[in-house]
Amino acid sequence: TAVAPPPEPPPFAISTVQLCRSIQGFGSFETTTPQSLRAGRPVLVYCELAGLRYDQRGDEYVAHIATRVELIAADGSKVWEVEGDAEDPCRRLRRDSFVGTQVNLPESIPPGDYTIRLTQTDSLAGRSATAEIAVTIGP
């Protein structure tokens, strides 16, 4: 008898991305407008992830996510970026995964139109997804 190959994991994707004032949990956040950003002030980037891989470690399931946030100028040049890693241990396999990242834009960024590019990498599965938000940094 033939053995069926293991099922393909669901596609890894960023299903939602929002700029926020506060994040309480999955699907629970207070948004801010992309035109209200100011250099030198923090903003939260909230995203929901689909297809995140969890590996079992003892009695827990663990995911590992690498986050990169880039600020891209209108001419396509990268003005600024920040990176971080997080582990998500849980006793039950999650169905809903989200990441909240605080971004502190440097005071040296001039006012204008930019794009925030968010890249999330599922380090266990070696898969990445990217989402972008058009923003305006005011004076």
pLDDT digits (tens, 9 = 90+) for 31-55: 999 888 999 999 999 999 999 999 9
What global pTM score does this model have? 0.89
The partner residues of 45 in beta bridges, in order of sequence, read: 19, 101
What is the sign, positive or negative, of the torsion defined by CA atoms of 92, 96, 49, 71? negative
Structure tokens at 17: 């991305």
pLDDT digits (tens, 9 = 90+) for 73-92: 999 999 999 999 999 999 99
Nearest to 45 by CA among 23, 77, 12: 23
CA angle centred on 4, ends 3 and 5, rounded to 5° = 115
Q: How much is the average pLDDT of 11-29? A: 94
Give how far the C-alpha of residue 62 lies from the chain's centroid of Cα atoms, to the nearest Å.
Answer: 17
Query: Could you tell me the CA-to-CA distances from 130 to 29, 40, 49, 70 in Å, in that order?
Result: 21, 24, 11, 11
CB 33 within 8 A of CB 40: no
Structure tokens at 42: 């923090």
Look at residue 107 in the predicted model and tell me its pLDDT: 93
